[in-house]
Amino acid sequence: MSEGGAFMADVLTPKQRSYNMSQIHGKDTKPEELVRKFLFSQGFRYRKNDARLPGKPDIVLPKYKTVIFVNGCFWHKHEGCQYFVWPKSNTEFWKDKISKNADRDIRNKRQLESMGWNVFTIWECELKKEKEKTLSSLVEHIITDTH
């Protein structure tokens, strides 16, 4: 099977396509870096990609017993999101791959919560349209929900 761009070219709008491709190639945008920088600017201190915790959370705030996942809408199956559309070719392959990601996300979240962690998920689309609002409400939640 050939990997790469052709699979989605016919079924997505240009906007969705460039968004998905940026996720696939990974390096154009780094949403988790954006969240980290913001938290740092607000005085939070964190660990990155802590491999000791289920799912290797993007951001760990030990002081608040909080972990944050910054998820790409395509790979993590953000349901109802304009950026999440099943590709129409190689459908079985993508369904299998992406469903596994989503199941793993749910398992990791449950496991973390049972260990006493607060788990927040930020979707990449939330950092596109309403970045300020997303980030400030995240901070609010970290401070008020976690004591």
| Residues near Zn ion (CB under 5 A) | 73, 78, 81, 83, 123, 125
The CB-of-115 to Zn ion minimum distance in angstroms stands at 27
**Most distant pair of Cα atoms in the chain: their distance:** 50
Residue 36: CB atoms within 10 Å? 18
Report the residue number, 54 or 72, with the smaller CB distance to Zn ion.
72
CA–CA distance, 114 with 95 (Å, rounded to integer)? 28
The CB-of-47 to Zn ion minimum distance in angstroms stands at 25
Report the residue number, 46 or 123, with the smaller CB distance to Zn ion.
123
CA–CA distance, 144 with 87 (Å, rounded to integer)? 39
Report the residue number, 47 or 131, with the smaller CB distance to Zn ion.
131
The CB-of-147 to Zn ion minimum distance in angstroms stands at 29
The CB-of-8 to Zn ion minimum distance in angstroms stands at 16
The runs of H, that is alpha helices, within 54-90 are none
Is residue 66 helix, strand or coil? strand
- Residue type (1 letter), 93: F
Report the residue number, 22 or 146, with the smaller CB distance to Zn ion.
22
The CB-of-44 to Zn ion minimum distance in angstroms stands at 24
The runs of H, that is alpha helices, within 1-130 are 14-25, 31-41, 91-114
Report the residue number, 75 or 83, with the smaller CB distance to Zn ion.
83
